[in-house]
A and B are shown apart, each in its own frame.
Chain A
Amino acid sequence: MNPQVLLFLVLAAITAVSAVRVVTTELITHAALFLALAFVAVAGIFLQLQADFLAAAQVLIYAGAITTMIIFAIMLSDIHEIKPSDQEDPFPVRFRRRWASRQWGFFPVLLALLFAGGMFWLYRGTGFALSTEAVSGSTTVQLGLQLFNEYALPFELASILLLVAMIGAIILTAKEVR
């Protein structure tokens, strides 16, 4: 087998398995760490596609910053385990427990496999518009130029979006609002 394909399959398997573990593990810190593993594996796939900047950003932002934030949130909120409570569980928890249990857990996985298989079958029959230009050197410079020329407007729009999100985070969580 082509080593490229083999590497891709390994990375894809790591991503898929850790994604499943994120929702099935009972320990919430483990869920966060599995999420980080999935992010790193995706970064590997980006590297295979010669998207070096994207891979670095994926590791720095997703595996680094976001996972750290999640773990901080877990530490500060004092919840370590997804425990059954004394009261009857609300519907979403019962729903989650059922589909994550050993008995029924195969069903969501089966559904995901069916979806993946269906999409794979569709992709096989499709001629995607592939780029024929070879990527030479680092993509960072090209990305930067694109971002500040052709995509200047989306870039600015995204910055407003982040500002609004920050304001929202403050007014929804700050102790003293008024």
Chain B
Amino acid sequence: MSFDYTLLLPELILTALALVVLVIDLSLAPGKKQSLTWITFAGILVAMAGIWPATQTSASQTLSGMVSSDGFSIFFKVLFLTVAALITLASGPYLQQKRLPVGEFYILLLSATLGMMFMSGSRDLITIYLGLELASITSYILAGLLREDPKSNEAAIKYFLNGAMASAVLLFGLSLVYGLTGETHLDIIGKVLNGDISHWPIVGVALVFLVAGFGFKMAAAPFHLWTPDAYEGAPTLVTAFFAVGPKAGAMAAVLRAFTIGFAASSGRWTELFAILAVVSMFFGNLTALWQTNVKRMMAYSSIAHIGYLLVGVTVATTVPGVASVMFYLLAYAVMTLGAFAVILAVDAFGPGDQVGNYAGLATRSPLLAWGLTLFFVSMIGIPPTGGFMGKFYLFSAAVQNGYVWLAVVMAINSAISVGYYYGIVKEMFVGKPLETTSVKAPAGVTAVVAITMVVTLMLGLYASPFLNWATAAAALPRFF
């Protein structure tokens, strides 16, 4: 067995970073842990630089083919590390204000990112599952970090119980696949299942379990029940991470597992994902209309966005399908992190997390208000934003593959979503502020808002380099 270190360099750096933070944390006096933020931030940047050597080698698999470092996983590694870096950038003053354990927060964040990187990079069911568990278990802990807040406790318990059940369902499906093929390696599973065997009813049952298991993890309706409570109760910074990280990780695992391992049964799983997409879009958008808590509203909105993404997964048997999902994930990650940065500023350093708290934000803190407006415009899918281009690509990928009805459902849902996003925008620009002082957002949070605003606009106006990148990553010959 050979081990090519260059292919796993970012993962190794991230693991080392988590351990370094663990040790340094012990040597720092309580209340003097600000330096950890910058150590973590710098370390994540180093890990991102560590991706470079992998792009230069022709080798793509290591450790008996357990992990591969192809364009697909590199795309997702960049995405996950960017998410982690932005969360870290916004974290310092927030952790201090909420009196959260600083060192442990970063260790958990880094470990979750590590798990997600393995979810996108592995070609073996065992590694995919372990990556998924690493990302999930850290998420359960992160949700419960506000120990004295009963809502945070509730969030952690609900997330944990639902997640544990999802893992059981997923594992049962994986065990059926292993029983059928005698293999855990995706390429070999794909070869074995490519034949008469793919028509057996038990393959369909295994697929149902896998779709349900992954559906839980990415919070697609009807497997979303934990989402609103987990989003509302968890510390806002953690909610921002939940809304992006674990979902993108599960999406990466789904794209790889289903398109390689179950390519021969694609007729079956595409239908399952189409149903999930429709239910998620309608349920998420219609329920979001009634929310008065912004974090809860964002939870339902994220369910709807998973629905849009699943439209792309439905046509993931084609290169444009996979590429459109990847591009939308990029746009979704950026605009969601930006929106949550504003929500975090208003929640922790301003009036609170109810819709009414946003009254008159435009006069109090124009940057935050305009930023949130831009992110909402992007989430609705109005040009010139990344969200528009993302939806456009998903739409055209669906239409090209004969899913016109699904594209129409998506358009209808985008229109519905205007309702709840508009409510907050109206409140910000028309509502009368209770106070006139500006929201004292820390520099890190403001920086995240500014960066994500620029990138959201960039994805809308200069989408082609990003789309070409996603297409190149999705079009790998060994991917199909």
Contact = CB atoms under 8 A, between A and B. Distances in A.
Interface of A: 119, 122-123, 125-126, 128-129, 131, 149-154, 157-158, 160-161, 164-165, 167-168, 171-172, 177-178
Nearest to A123: B202
Contacts of A165: 137
Interface in B106-156: 107-108, 111, 114-115, 118, 124, 126-127, 130-131, 133-134, 137-138, 140-141, 144-145, 147, 156
Contacts of B108: 164, 167-168
A178 B126 contact: no
B167 to A, nearest CB: 12
Contact of B182 (A119, A129, A149, A164): A129
Contacts of A161: 115, 130, 133-134, 137
A153 B184 CA distance: 14
A139 B104 CA distance: 39
B144 A172 contact: yes
B129 to A, nearest CB: 9
Query: Looking at chain B's contact residues, is the secondary structure mostly helix, strand, loop, or mixed?
Result: helix
Contacts, number: 84
Contacts of A178: 30, 99, 101
Contacts of B144: 172
Contacts of B66: 151, 153-154
Q: Which of B15, B67, B99, B111 has the most CB of A within 10 A?
A: B111
Nearest to B66: A153
A164 B138 contact: yes
Give the interface size class of chain B. Answer: 35 or more
Contacts of A172: 141, 144, 147, 156
Contact of B111 (A119, A150, A154, A160): A160
Given A125-B202, A153-B67, A167-B108, 17 more contacts: A126-B200, A129-B179, A129-B180, A129-B183, A131-B182, A150-B1, A151-B66, A152-B1, A153-B63, A154-B126, A157-B118, A157-B130, A161-B115, A164-B137, A172-B156, A177-B147, A178-B101
Contacts of A122: 201-202, 205
B401 interface: no
B138 A168 contact: yes
A157 B127 contact: yes
B181 interface: yes
A146 to B, nearest CB: 10
Contacts of A151: 66, 126
B60 interface: no
A152 B156 CA distance: 31
